[in-house]
Structure 1
Amino acid sequence: MKAIRRLHVRTVLPDALSPLHDLALNLRWSWHPPTLDLFESIDAQKWAECRREPLAMLSALTPDELDRLAGDPAFVQRVREAGEGLTRYLSEPRWYQQEAQAGGEAGGFGQAYAYFSPEFGITAALPQYSGGLGILAGDHLKSASDLGVPIVGIGLFYKSGYFRQRLNAEGWQQESYPVLDPDDQPLALLREEDGTPAVISLAMPGEGHLDAHVWRAQVGRVPLLLLDSDVESNDASKRDLTDRLYGGGGDQRLQQEMLLGIGGVRALRLWSRLTGAPEPDVYHMNEGHAGFQGVERISELVSGADLSFEEALRAVRASTVFTTHTPVPAGIDRFGVNQISQHFGGAAELPGVALDKLLELGAETYEGGDSGVFNMAVMGLRLGQRANGVSVLHGEVSRGMFKGLWPGFDEAEVPIGSITNGVHAGTWVDRKVFDLAAEFMGPEALTDGTAFEKVSQVPVDRIWATKREMREQLVAETRTRLRKSMRTRGSTSAELGWIDEVLDPDILTIGFARRVPTYKRLTLMLRDPERLAKILLDPDRPVQLVIAGKAHPADDTGKRLIQEMVRFTDDHKLRHRIVFLPNYDIAMAQRLYPGCDVWLNNPLRPFEACGTSGMKAALNGALNLSILDGWWDEWFDGENGWAIPTADGVDDDRRDELEASALYDLLENSVVPTFYDTDEAGLPTRWLEMIQHTLGTLGPKVMADRMVRDYTRALYLPAARAGWAVRENNYARARDLAGAVERIRAAWPSVRVEHVEAEGVSDSPQIGETVRVHAYLALGGLSPEDVSVQVAFGRASETDELTEVETSTLEPVESYDNGRHRFDGELELTRTGSLGWTVRALPAHPQLAADAELGLVANA
């Protein structure tokens, strides 16, 4: 029989156990071992059956079991203390509050920062992520919570998540989409004061509408609002809109992003109205998927503050941060202009946002751009006054990708900076590492960046023993998962005795796990299968590989790569040394990173924006073996692992051949010998020195706490202050800036540097000399206050191209007829060698954040 209706009956806890409810609903448990220990102590077997999920554990307890626990004074005391500990964590001043108080700048620190992302990887219990973007977003929220940064997250609730991966007999990836009941998740529905579910609504084409409920997950101190379109007032297609993460294309993808952006802002307004939470000071777009949040805010200001579109745009830009995560144009969402017109024209037009104005925001108005598409990343850059990539190299790549938006400027001046990603130690570092660090480095060793310098105090034999324990842990996990996978692929239990011999806790273990687009090159290691087999099966110094990864459901190329890898691992001569594990997720990763000695990453450079899996492995005492891409490009130092040489300037096939050969060489000649070269006590002394060096130097850098501090100081606080400034006196400065921009743009074709003179230059200039510069400019209808005139100087190439450029401002000294003016300044010669200099004019206004912001420049 099948049920015709479902009810969700929640557990009623005895009063003595009531804190368990809050402990289970607050996702802090996912990175707080004492809370997990508390739930496990109830019933270890039942805890394992509930997949170590507190809410599921409470639902599994019978009334008799709850009464028994409520009658246990020792357990009740533990519950009370855990509840009090959570209350302290949620209320006590933390880094952010201490910084505000210590700086005496309470008014200079924002009350709330909105963080928009299409996915969030918090815990395996709430599978709302597909890969690195979501995991990064989850780590961002967790560290913001630990630091007390007042963030609120905004995303979508996907009832079927991303997908669960399994393999068929031929090794082909297959997907399933188990339905998640939000009532079984650590979520609470946002309700109106009368108890009815709160609803936000969007206009859709053809007089249609899209309604959504709002679920709240509590990530420590951080609320995460997730919009859900499975609402009875929607038609069937709209109810399924948020069913799957990245599950559809075309209109479905566009409408998901409309819900995330426009609906997300409306959800924030609803949240503030119902809870009294402050309106955000800053809006952070984690990739372009959430770009429509800026359009909705423009509409609000045009309608509610009586601003023009341009005035509202300037106000929105001031308080918006945009982070790009993709280093390739193909990774950016682009929609047809006709699609956008259908969804934002006519009856669906947002008040105050004319369709032509909206289309301008996403137009690829640069050489090589496509006039028929609307680019979400381009819109993000036009809506965000502050933008960044996610590693130093990715910042450089992004400036190259988008330089067409700032014509006339050198690539280095494109206003896209970089903040390198980090990882949340509490989530990814194995408890055995925490315990070891606490014993020798202090109780907060891995959450206090200053304590990493004490890693030399940890005895190396204890480090080595701990690594073996974690390898042993991985071996057990691998065998369990592999047995389940092989049964799914059609093997019987009688055929699987060989799995008991898979992997060995005393063998060098290499991990490789990530999404499977072609640029990550899952199968590069198979370029010479005989050579790889020889490395794996070496009788004296064997190697074992644990591999995992998912291909997008629509990516048959990625699926073929997985199948090629699986068929290799199926070889009965090799299967005890190399394993492919399906359904890579947070739960698997939390065993895989600690159990690996080496983390392998071999993308096509520079297509890895950052790549944080190697950071997680490093914090667990692993060494990285990677192409110099993403974060590894900036933090590899020759002692914390190995860099695979990059073969530039050759065709793709030849490049793969050369880089695979370099990988084998490193394994055979460096990695494997270093691991197995032991002293009289059986310790690999050089290997352990590298682990200690890695933890001591990389540890503070790869922490998400460092990342969130960087975002707060470099982007959130400046954006908050800029937003406050443009809102003062009924948006007076936004109106002034919009007027100035309009006036400057109109006059700029007449701006030119007419003549430059220099005095004080000797025939053989020497370091320390000063050059006096006089520049004569025609400004058309602009005044000297509307421009910044600079002398730019740096090293000059044979073609007079300047590099290592520095600038110095020239001041207005005289004005003449017909809009001509003289600007003077001095240039001190502080460097030797072949130097060159020039003069240029740029727009000037107190509310502009970067020289290149308007994309206007007049060069001499």
Structure 2
Amino acid sequence: MRALRRLTVRASLPEALMPLSQLVTNLRWSWHPETRDLFEALDPELWASCGGDPVKVLGEVSAERLAALADDPGFLEQLTTVAADLREYLDAPHWYQSLGADAPATIAYFSAEFGITEVLPQYSGGLGILAGDHLKAASDLGVPLIGVGLLYRSGYFSQGLSADGWQLEHYPALDPHGLPLKLVRDADRNAVVIAVPLPEGRTLYAHVYRAQVGRVSLLLLDSDIEENSPAERGVTDRLYGGGEDHRLRQEMLLGIGGVRALRAYCSLTGTPPPEVFHANEGHAGFQGIERIRELTESHGLSFPEALQAVRGGTVFTTHTPVPAGIDRFPKALIERYFAGFGVPVDQLLPLGAEEDPSKFNMAHMGLRLGQRANGVSELHGHVSRDMFGPLWPGFDPDDVPIGSITNGVHAPTWTARELVELGTQTTSQGDPLEVDGEVHFDGVDRVPAAELWRTRRLLRGRLVEEVRRRVRATALSRGAAEAELDWTETAFDPDVLTIGFARRVPSYKRLTLMLRDPARLKALLLDEERPVQLVIAGKSHPADDGGKQLIQQMVKFADDPEIRHRIAFLPNYDIGMARYLYWGCDVWLNNPLRPLEACGTSGMKSALNGGLNLSIRDGWWDEWFDGQNGWAIPTADGVEDPERRDDVEAQAIYDLLHRQVVPRFYEVDDEGVPSRWVEMVRDTLRETGPKVLATRMVRDYVQRLYVPAAGAARSMAAGGYEPARAEAAWRAKLLEHWPGVRVAHVEATGVGETPEIGGGIDLRAEVELPGLAPSDVLVEAAYGRVDDADGLHQVTTLELRHDGAEGSRHWFTGTVPLTRTGAFGYTVRVLPHSAHLVVPAELGVVVNA
């Protein structure tokens, strides 16, 4: 018999323990050790059995135990201290409060998934963990962020393994009342209901739940409510589940419903409405369409005018290194769903236009709606400019208006407490959150090598205990008998070099690359004097049978009785498991197919714990590998045969392990300390640690994107949105007349027969501007190194001055300096110019000489 509904019933808290209510509902406990200590003290045995989940502990602790604690002076003192610390954290000014009036009062951050804690399983992988770390770091910095997402009643999925190693998916039913969430209610205590129109007169309704992430509120929309028909109730059933129609409704609820939830929440709480809207990937793109609809109805703006107003305050982040990873919907489906929405469909569709005229591309819409866009590492910025370059025809990749802010990770969440207490994240420069410029965690230099090594061994030992526990539980779930599992008690060894590999399992991450030469891998694992042990984890998307086959291949290899004490695949990779891996692994292995790893933040988390990376130079590792924080796996970029490329790069991994990594780990001094290894650990903690912080990342977003976007949004909204109207009119005029713009002639003087450094080339360009004024354009000389095909490289630009006109003919002049030897070239180009453009390439039009 199945229960109709599940509830979490809690004991009533005595008056003296009421602060526990605020502590348990503020997810700061997920990264604040002292708060977790307090909840563990409620009932240590219950804490262990509940997996360190304060919500579950408070839901199951007995009334008798609570009554006893209410009279326990020691516990009450601990409670008072922790509650006061939370109040100070929430109320005191932080870094953001020093920025002044230019900083936006509120920023909305939209994401399809958020990985805050394993207790709130609303994430599938790196995108969600990044979003969760973004919110936590914003809280630590005092950034007034509001997160917006969906509440998936079954999360992503829980992963199991069959007897033959095939991935099994289980979708647990989540009770919002048993999660650290509060239902958003109006002044009459009624649940706030959000409505999103659907075709055929249907409506999608949702409740809004709030998770408190330190100082940051996270709003999660839930469609599983009585107001909906069965089909609509299931919209928020699973993360990344269902077909195109289902996914489109999810993304409409996220974007359109998310904006409406924000409006309701801000109105109820007196929070200033957001000035900046940050879309974390294309899933949230419809937030811009809803804001356009709002402005057309509230201020009478046309679609193009509202688009200008919305673009100014919109930031778009792409995490996708391949076109196949982008959400694309049939154009006919978009037409059907938005036919009666309130915006002209014929003006909406071009925002998502792509090469295939039958498709609507969500990333393209995100880029066209966001005046500021970025990739998530320097290399990913280059990849994105190449991939999305066709949206800006006529421009070189370097001119495509997509920047980069390299991801970071939230140190208090991911760093082992023992390392923090050693001082590995302290600096003589002051508070790391307040330091401008490069930071060095030089506190680690005061830690003796023996103590640093002792701590690393302690953390490795903790991982070994966790691996043994999980290996045993997995074997039982796959059908093994208790009598067969004695070997799990001695599996793995706290003194053996431990390598971790854990991530999602798409093909490009190459889970099984390490298996290319099974005999050589076995030799490394079983070396009698210098063995290696491997911990592997990761989920494949439920619809990806190819990924499941990779997992099965790895599981079957690890099942071999000869090596199962040295290699393990651990199912159900989540935040809780990940911490043990990041704390305890000596080496973090990452071998994606370059350049398809947008960032790869798992290696960052390992580095914060003194783990050394062994990685293909992709994502963040491409820019921050320094020769001391690990090893770069050589790539076979020029090899076109994928099988041969995999062989070459796998052999490179085996060689690095055999010749460099393993010897250095086992080369110890008289005190038993591998001194050269420890120095690499120390360098990683000192130099790499500060770079990979999420607080560094969020500061970059604030200073480079949020503050300028707020300024642009205010500028567009001034005087009843008059600048937005004017900018839309200017763009329409410019694009109408642009086909007639041309560089008619370029005259160069001042160059002798033998040009020399220090000289210059005097340029005079004749430009036809029919219907346009000189102030509408920017005329530039572009110059630099020239190749044999006359291609310009290392380009520098010089703005040419207007120097007279005759009708629609205009002359522009300037002097190009000769600053380098060798082959040199130049050209002249014409670009649009407006005070409201972030970069001249923004409109995607250019005329070259």
TM-score normalised to structure 1 length: 0.97
**C-alpha spacing 1:444/1:222, structure 2 compared with 1 (3 Å):** farther
Q: Take 2:521 and 2:306, find their aligned partners in 1: how far apart are those partners?
A: 60
State the distance in 1 between where 2:672 and 2:5 align: 63
What amino acid does structure 2 have at the position aligned with 1:56?
K
Contact 1:437 1:443 in 2 (8 A): no
Q: CA deviation at 1:518?
A: 0.7
**Residue in 2 that maps onto 1:389:** 375
Distance 1:769 1:444, change over 3 A: closer
Please name the residue that 2:185 is paired with: 191
Name the residue aligned to 1:790: 780
TM-superposed deviation, 1:451: 5.0
Whether the 8 Å contact between 1:155 and 1:264 is mirrored in structure 2 is yes
**Conserved in 1, the CA contact under 8 Å of 2:380 and 2:619?**
yes
Report the alpha carbon displacement of residue 54 of structure 1 after superposing the two structures with TM: 1.5
Q: Verify the 8 A CA contact 2:7 2:177 in the aligned structure 1.
A: no
How far apart are 1:448 and its partner, in Å?
A: 7.4
- The reply on whether 1:622 has 2:616 as its aligned counterpart is no
Q: Does 1:769 align with 2:755?
A: no
Quick one: which of 213, 223, 232 aligns to 2:207?
A: 213
Residue of 638, 641, 657 corresponding to 1:667: 657
C-alpha distance in 1 between matches for 2:832 and 2:111? 33
Q: Could you tell me which amino acid in structure 1 is paired with residue 54 of structure 2?
A: P
The aligned residue for residue 586 of structure 1 is 575
| 1:253 aligns to 2:243 (yes or no) | no
Separation in 2 of the partners of 1:442 and 1:754?
Answer: 61
Q: Secondary structure at the match of 1:210?
A: strand
Equivalents in 1 of 2:9, 2:517: separation in Å? 57
1:647 maps to which of 630, 636, 644: 636
Q: Which residue of 2 aligns with 1:240?
A: 234
Is 2:744 the partner of 1:750? no
Match of 2:590 among 591, 601, 605: 601
Q: Does the Cα contact within 8 Å between 1:445 and 1:452 map onto a contact in 2?
A: no
Aligned partner (choices 357, 370, 378) of residue 371 of structure 1: 357
Q: What pairs with 1:77-96 in structure 2 (closer than 5 Å)?
A: 77-96=77-96
Does the 8 Å contact 1:639/1:693 carry over to 2? yes
Q: Which runs of 5+ in 1 are unaligned?
A: 101-105
**SS of the residue aligned with 2:690?**
coil
Please say which of residues 479-488 and 3-12 is displaced more in the overlay. Answer: 3-12
Which residue does 1:287 correspond to in 2? 281
CA distance in 1, matches of 2:442, 2:382: 31
* One-letter amino acid of the counterpart of residue 687, structure 2: T
Letter in 2 for 1:404: P
1:274 is aligned with what amino acid? L
Q: Secondary structure at the match of 1:206?
A: helix
Question: Shift in Å at residue 79 of structure 1?
Answer: 1.1
CA gap of 1:323–1:439, structure 2 versus 1, over 3 A, is closer
Amino acid at match of 2:460: R
**Residue 812 (structure 2) aligns with:** 823
Q: Is the 8 A contact 1:389 1:395 kept in 2?
A: yes
Contact kept in structure 2, 1:536 and 1:543, CA below 8 Å: yes
Mapped contact 1:434–1:446 kept (Cα < 8 A): no
Residue in structure 2 matched with residue 496 of structure 1 by the alignment: 485
2:418 equivalent in structure 1? 432
Q: Tell me how far 1:772 sits from its aligned partner.
A: 2.3
Task: Summarize the alignment of residues 347-362 of structure 1 with structure 2, pairs less than 5 Å apart.
Answer: 349-351=340-342, 353-362=343-352
More off after superposition, 467-476 vs 760-769: 760-769
Residues 462-481 of structure 1 aligned to structure 2 (within 5 Å): 462-481=451-470
- Distance in structure 2 (CA, Å) of the matches to 1:735 and 1:441: 50
Q: Which moved more, 1:248-257 or 1:8-17?
A: 8-17
Distance in 1 (alpha carbons) for counterparts of 2:62 and 2:474: 33
Change beyond 3 A, Cα 1:439–1:298: closer
Deviates more, 1:44-53 or 1:130-139: 44-53
The equivalent residue for 1:536 is: 525
1:108-166 per-residue CA deviation (whole Å, 9 max, x = no partner) reads 11001100000000000000000000000000000000000111000000010000001
Q: TM-score, normalised by structure 2?
A: 0.98
Residue matched to 1:53: 53
Q: Is the 8 A contact 2:95 2:433 kept in 1?
A: no
- Does the CA contact (< 8 Å) of 2:314 and 2:369 recur in 1? yes
Contact between 1:639 and 1:694, CA under 8 Å: does it hold in 2?
A: yes
Shift of 1:48: 1.1
Aligned-partner SS, 1:695: helix
Q: Which of 196, 201, 221 is the matching residue for 2:195?
A: 201
Contact 2:424 2:444 in 1 (8 A): no
Corresponding position: 1:262 with 2:252: no
Question: In the TM superposition, what whole-angstrom CA distance separates every residue of 1:663-712 from its partner, at most 9, and x where no partner exists?
Answer: 11111111111111112221111111111111221111100010000011
The match for 2:693 among 685, 703, 708 is 703
Equivalent position to 1:147, from 103, 122, 141:
141
Cα pair 1:441 1:458 within 8 Å, conserved: no
Q: Distance in 1 between matches of 2:608 and 2:407?
A: 14
Post-superposition offset of 1:760 = 2.2
1:857 aligns with: 846
Instruction: State the Cα distance separating 1:454 from its structure 2 match.
Output: 3.2
Residues 420-459 of structure 1: pairs in structure 2 closer than 5 A? 420-437=406-423, 450=439, 452-459=441-448
SS in 2 for 1:11: coil
Equivalent residue, structure 2, for 1:74: 74
Equivalence for 1:112? 106
Does structure 1 conserve the Cα–Cα contact (< 8 Å) formed by 2:7 and 2:175? no
CA drift at 1:11? 3.5
Distance 2:395 2:16 in 1: 66
Partner SS for 1:700 = helix
**Could you tell me which of 559, 577, 582 is aligned with 2:566?**
577
Question: Alpha-carbon deviation of 1:7?
Answer: 5.0
Indicate which of 637, 648, 662 corresponds to 1:658: 648
Quick check: 1:438–1:445 contact (8 Å CA) kept in 2?
no
Counterpart CA distance in 1 for 2:697 and 2:609 is 19
Instruction: State the SS of the aligned residue for 2:296.
Output: helix
Which amino acid is 2:490 matched to? E
Whether the 8 Å CA contact 1:793–1:836 is kept in 2: the answer is yes
What's the CA shift for 1:319? 0.5
Q: Determine helix, strand or coil for the equivalent of 2:74.
A: helix
Q: How far off is 1:826 after superposition?
A: 2.2
Q: Which letter does structure 1 place at the counterpart of 2:664?
A: T
Displacement of 1:716: 0.5
CA distance in 1, matches of 2:109, 2:758: 48
Which stretch of the first structure deviates more once superposed, 573-582 or 769-778? Answer: 769-778
Which residue identity does 1:374 align to in structure 2? F
How many correspondences in the alignment? Answer: 845
Q: Residue in 2 aligned with 1:30?
A: 30
In structure 2, C-alpha distance between the alignment counterparts of 1:441 and 1:8, rounded to whole Å: 45
Contact preservation (8 Å) 2:414, 2:579: yes
Counterpart code for 2:313 = S
Superposed CA deviations along residues 760-791 of structure 1, whole A, max 9, x for unmatched, are 22322222223322111110110000001111
Q: Give the SS at the match of 2:248.
A: helix
Aligned to 1:300: 294
**What's the C-alpha RMSD, in Å, of the aligned pairs?**
1.4
- Give deviations 1:59-116, integer Å, cap 9, x for gaps: 1122221111111122212212211111110111101012x2xxxxx22110011000
CA contact (8 A) 1:437 1:446 kept: no
Residue by residue, what CA displacement relative to the aligned partner does 1:263-309 show, whole Å, maximum 9, x if unpaired?
00000001111111111010000000000000000000111111110
Is the CA contact 2:471–2:570 (under 8 Å) kept in the aligned structure 1?
yes
Secondary structure of the structure 2 residue equivalent to 1:599 = strand
Structure 2: which amino acid aligns with 1:432? Answer: E
- Do 1:445 and 1:451's aligned partners in 2 also have CA atoms closer than 8 Å? no
- Name the % identity: 59
Q: 1:657 to 1:796 in 2, by over 3 A?
A: same
Who is 1:163 aligned against? 157
> Which secondary structure state, in structure 2, belongs to the residue aligned with residue 853 of structure 1?
helix
Contact preservation (8 Å) 1:795, 1:802: yes
- Preserved CA contact (<8 Å) 2:8 2:59: no
Match of 1:103 in 2: none
What secondary structure is seen at the aligned counterpart in 2 of 1:128?
coil
Change (3 A) 1:856 1:191: same
Q: Does residue 1:760 correspond to 2:750, yes or no?
A: yes
